[in-house]
Amino acid sequence: MKICRTIADCRTTVASFRAAGETVGLVPTMGFLHEGHMSLVAAAKEAADRTVVTIFVNPTQFGEAADLDSYPRDEERDLAMLEAAGVDLVLIPPVQEVYPDGDETIVETTRMANMLHGLVRPGHFRGVTTVVARLFNFVQPDIACFGEKDYQQLQVIKRMTRDLAFPIDIRGVPTVREADGLAMSSRNVRLTAQDRQAALVLSQSLKAAEEAAAAGTTIEALREVIANTIHAEPRATLRGLDIVGAEDLSDLTGPLASPAAIMISVEFGGILLIDQRVVTP
């Protein structure tokens, strides 16, 4: 497994793959890897001849410096996991390599970035699309894998890829969960034991919504089911609850008549967790 810390080194290695006629799959991450990330790696390996993983804690997508500074990191462990999974190249660029002259040039999906989770975390999706566009240009992959867990992010990246005509096939990969249902996240380790237990309310509320959807319901009733479940947990603070068209994130009201994406963000002692589910009538 080749480890690159510069764009130039990464490009040389990817060029050698291309010269051999091989296709390239990319998995962008912020490191501190878990089984969720590894399922993206498995999907990329399945879809392309060579797999490239990037580890970069992107400063432009964090609202608060404290959140950025406390983001968990463990490079040695990450590299051991990627090596064991048969990854071909890992790009771990310093901030200076990705933003040598700052972030004068930004990429933004203007509508989709500034709705839903984007309202809770202003500037977040602009930072994501800016860094992913740069990573796409560094690696120039044929396919790139992103988790459905970050549902709005996945839709934002699909839209950016289409609008900027990147010749890259964007693949969404289903959320990997702990045995008790909590969506795997690098942030989970920062929860206290009590908050970790209370965090089950995210997947429980989505399950309740799924059951209501299957029985026939309205968007308003779905909102109530989720809000009631989360409000019943005193350690949880509901920060975002959105039910939108699964493809275009459009507003929905009235009877559930087409696939809807439910996106929730819930805070536990300063740690923001997210989860999502697409429900069908």
Catalytic residues: 37
Instruction: Give the HSE-up count for residue 123: Cα atoms under 13 Å, Cβ half-sphere.
Output: 9
Tokens linked to 109? 């999906």
Residues that bind ligand AMP (CB under 6 A): 29-30, 36-37, 39-40, 146-147, 149-150, 173, 175-176, 183-186
- Cα–Cα distance, 189 to 275 (Å, whole number): 16
CB of 187 to ligand AMP, least distance (A): 8
Find the shortest distance in angstroms from Cβ 159 to ligand AMP.
15
27/236 with CB nearer ligand AMP: 27
Rounded to a whole number of angstroms, the minimum distance from the CB of residue 173 to ligand AMP is 6
Residue placing its CB nearer to ligand AMP in the complex, 37 or 277: 37
- Retrieve residue 204's tokens: 């429980």
Pair type for strands 237-245 and 260-268: antiparallel
Instruction: Closer to ligand AMP by CB, 59 or 224: give it.
Output: 59
One-letter-per-residue 3-state SS of 61-75: HCCCHHHHHCCCCCH
Q: How far is the CB of 31 from ligand AMP (least distance, A)?
A: 6
Alpha carbon distance 41, 48 (integer Å): 11
Cβ-contact 171, 43 below 8 angstroms: yes
Q: How far is the CB of 221 from ligand AMP (least distance, A)?
A: 28
In this structure, what DSSP letter does residue 153 have? H
Pair 157, 170: CB distance under 8 Å: yes
Task: Using DSSP bridges, classify how beta strands 143-147 and 89-91 pair: parallel, antiparallel or unpaired.
Answer: unpaired
User: Could you give phi then psi for residue 37, rounded to 5 degrees?
Assistant: -60, -40
d(CA 55, CA 27): 9
Euclidean distance between CA atoms 227 and 277, whole angstroms: 15
Tokens of 137: 């240009």
Taking the least distance from each CB to ligand AMP, the nearer of 25 and 225 is: 25
DSSP H or E run through 23: none
Q: Smallest gap, in angstroms, from Cβ of residue 39 to ligand AMP?
A: 5
Q: How many residues does the chain have?
A: 281
Query: Of the two residues 50 and 171, which places its CB atom closer to ligand AMP in the complex?
Result: 171
